Amino acid sequence: MGPESFADFYRAKRILVTGGAGFLGSFLCEKLLAAGAEVLSVDNYFTGRRANIAHLISNPMFEAMRHDVTMSLFVEVDAIFNFACPASPVHYQFDPVATTKVSVHGAINMLGLAKRLKCPILQASTSEVYGDPTVHPQTEDYWGNVNPIGPRACYDEGKRCAETLFFDYQRQHRVAIKVMRIFNTYGPRMHENDGRVVSNFVISALRGEPITIYGTGAQTRSFCYVDDLVDAALQLMATPADVTGPINVGNPNECTILDLARKIIELTGSSSKLVFQPAPQDDPKQRKPDISLARSVLEWQPTIGLDEGLRKTIAYFERRLVEGDLKR
């Protein structure tokens, strides 16, 4: 299912995007508008930024609302994308209680809204529900290996509980749900201080500063460019009601953190040196999605390779550095 096939699904529909000013949410708003939808972005701007959606404000089909999804929301829409939640350890560990509330209370409020409106709702879940996996690559039927009391649990368990709520609302209230498990995604508009590996490495390389690798660098991740990820979300929402997920969305091409650092140094022409620090608690050693289900159900797979995506991401941060827009 390509963009041309789901365009009719969104044309003239009113779509709510929670976390709409965030990294992923802002690209989702853009693509929904391009598909002919009317879009309501809801964000409390904890990690989202007005700058991410500033270019959309003049569009008469776009509306931005400042609102925290842990509070009830009463609007009239045809579909809901629930993307509201801090997604990097730096941000979700800043206030772990609030992070759990966003995942759990936010899910309850958005599911309640979907129940009242009888509209479909898509949950932006995460590969973190698999924890530090003992199965590789991770398939959707794997239940995970999560520390429920560790420093990452506010996010990991919050997202796991949100998935529980989604499926219980479907079983108990017949809410039309979609659950997408997002693996590492990168691209322009990433927050420069979110602690995520791609933005950290790119900014350090552009500044010629040491690049810090936690652990040996042998741990792996699979990096999906933002455009590919958002296309998958749009396609999943447009599937028939019996397609609920959970469904893995990410790039199955595995890369070690050490190789990623070396690649970014090469692409930026940087003189940065590598420095090593101890790995943080519960940091997954391997992360790679099995996307067989996405390939068969959505006819989706990533199209943008790591080098191409990194060049676009580097160009974004390079421009912001030139403009003096990046704070140390």
Annotated catalytic residues are: 155
Strands (E), the chain: 14-18, 38-43, 62-66, 79-82, 121-126, 177-182, 185-186, 211-214, 220-222, 224-225, 247-249, 254-256, 274-277
Other Cβ atoms less than 10 A from the Cβ of 41: the count is: 29
99-134: string of b/e by CB count within 10 Å (b at 16+)?
A: bbbbbbbbbbbbbebbbebebbbbbbbbbbbbbbbe
Among candidates 98, 66, 75, 74, which has minimal Cα distance to 85? 98
Q: Are 54 and 10 in contact (CB under 8 A)?
A: no
Helix, strand, coil fractions of the chain, as percent rounded to 5: 40, 15, 40
Q: Are 23 and 167 in contact (CB under 8 A)?
A: no
Report how far residue 310's alpha carbon sits from residue 270's, in angstroms, rounded to the nearest whole number. 14
